[in-house]
Amino acid sequence: MHNHSRFSDGLLSPTQLMELAARNGVDAIALTDHDTTEGLDEAAGAAKATGIALVPGVEISVDWGETTLHVVGLNVDPTHAPLAEGLRRIREGRLGRGERIAQALEKLGFTGTLEGALALAENKEMLSRAHFARHLAETGRVKDTQAAFDKYLTKGKPAYVSHRWATLEEAVSWIRGSGGIAVMAHPGRYGLKPMFRDEMLAQFKGFGGEAIEVVTGSHRPEEYAAWQRVAGEFGFLASRGADYHGPGESPIEPGKLPALHASLTPVWSKWAH
Ligand code: AMP
Ligand code: MN
Ligand code: MN
Ligand code: MN
């Protein structure tokens, strides 16, 4: 229930993603590109051709204080005007942010990174830090994309540039307004201390958020049990998704994650009858 394509920062086309899922025996899959639903049409066609059920989705970038959160919307209607317009608005500043990232990298002696990153981005308005990381790795300036994030691109590092995304309330309301279910993506990735984590999840629930990811490629397996407990405490449905970005970058392919614990109610119980 969480995968990326070339329409955001994934490496595969939606068709290639559906074909990979089919090879892995997946029977239902969500495409959840960052801040865009542009890949859903192609994905729907390819899913049909391979006999997989496509769950139309999106992963929305959100500011929560100083923290960037990701909220996944599942079963969204991409034609719902507030969702489409809201996503367009948060995509708008990405190119300007990219220019500022490139300027910061230039100060570190790395020239030409804007052009390099843009050349890797199929969808120019979805220019992502992931494209900068890939460009730095491909040009041998870091050993791999992870090192690019760890040394330069994550918060607190010299080429990190902050950006204004959606509010938590907006993201949840756009998703719900379009008929979808709002899922807090990889809650273990935000580094929030328990008090802030609980505050964040309580707000999310208050706005209408219904689920959290428990089993995800973005959690370490030893974290699953803790998020399973949190889901139970808050009464959230549970989601499971590879957060797949492509070969060589995401070790866990769609269809390769362990099952959710039997005590959890899967988010797909809302629509898979
Ligand atoms: P952006 O939305 O352009 O800020 O890029 C965020 C994307 O970069 C995430 O969706 C991940 O794919 C990737 N990313 C962010 N932080 C890291 C990290 N610490 N290590 C590896 N990839 C990361
Ligand atoms: Mn990503
Ligand atoms: Mn994410
Ligand atoms: Mn993701």
The verdict on the CB of residue 67 being under 6 Å from ligand 1 is no
Measured between alpha carbons, how far is residue 31 from residues 4, 6, 133, 245, 271 in Å? 6, 11, 22, 11, 16
- pLDDT tens digits, 120-172: 999 999 999 999 999 999 999 999 999 999 999 999 999 999 999 999 999 99
> Does residue 245 line the site of ligand 1, with CB under 6 A?
yes
Among 129, 186, 189, name the best residue to mutate to test ligand 1's pocket (greatest count of ligand atoms within 8 A of Cβ).
129
Give the Å distance between the CA of 273 and the centre of ligand 2. Answer: 30
Q: Are 258 and 221 a contacting pair, CB within 8 Å?
A: yes
Predicted TM-score (pTM) of the model is: 0.98
Q: pLDDT of 197-253, one tens digit each?
A: 999 999 999 999 999 999 999 999 999 999 999 999 999 999 999 999 999 999 999
**122 CA → ligand 2 middle, Å:** 14
pLDDT band per the 50, 70, 90 thresholds, residue 181: very high
